Amino acid sequence: MTTQNLALIQKQQQQDKIQDQENQQQQKKIISFNEFIGTVLVFTKQVLIKYPKLTRMLDEENYGFGLDMYNDKQEDPQATNAINTTIHQELINISKNTDIVDMQLIAVKILKQEPLPNQISTLKNDT
């Protein structure tokens, strides 16, 4: 093996090591983000329990609600249309487009207005 080949192999090994470190950092960010989404889902369920009038935001058939989307450009909270915005489609997307079973379960339970299982208080990844 020539010195040039050895140098190329070492350079490739260094690049592989850097790539592995970047992949690990990216994986940690994904895990953190998924924990955040799970926490938001549990919080959403608790808010819906505390304020039952908000359950109309879960309606698939809007019956006049959800026809106008939330307007984040408004400074006045009363003008944002938050209460008339449906979250049904967002919960459907979470229930279908995530690989995390607990998050799917929470989203479905929210949509069906069923209680969450007792063991779900936060989502932790065992990695």
Task: Express the helix, strand and coil content of the chain in percent, nearest 5 each.
Answer: 65, 0, 35
In a domain, 52, yes or no: yes
Domain that holds residue 107: 3-112
In a domain, 70, yes or no: yes
In a domain, 122, yes or no: no
In a domain, 119, yes or no: no
Question: How many Å from the N-terminal Cα to the C-terminal Cα in the chain?
Answer: 40
Helix (H) or strand (E) holding 19: helix 3-50
In a domain, 124, yes or no: no
Structure confidence at residue 30 (pLDDT): 66
In a domain, 125, yes or no: no
Comparing CA positions, the residue from 86, 88, 46 lying closest to residue 67 is 86
Q: Residues 60-103: pLDDT tens digits?
A: 765 555 456 777 888 888 888 777 777 888 888 888 888 788 88
Identify the residue whose tokens are 């994904």.
30
In a domain, 118, yes or no: no
> How many independent structural domains does the chain possess?
1
Q: Give the global pTM.
A: 0.57
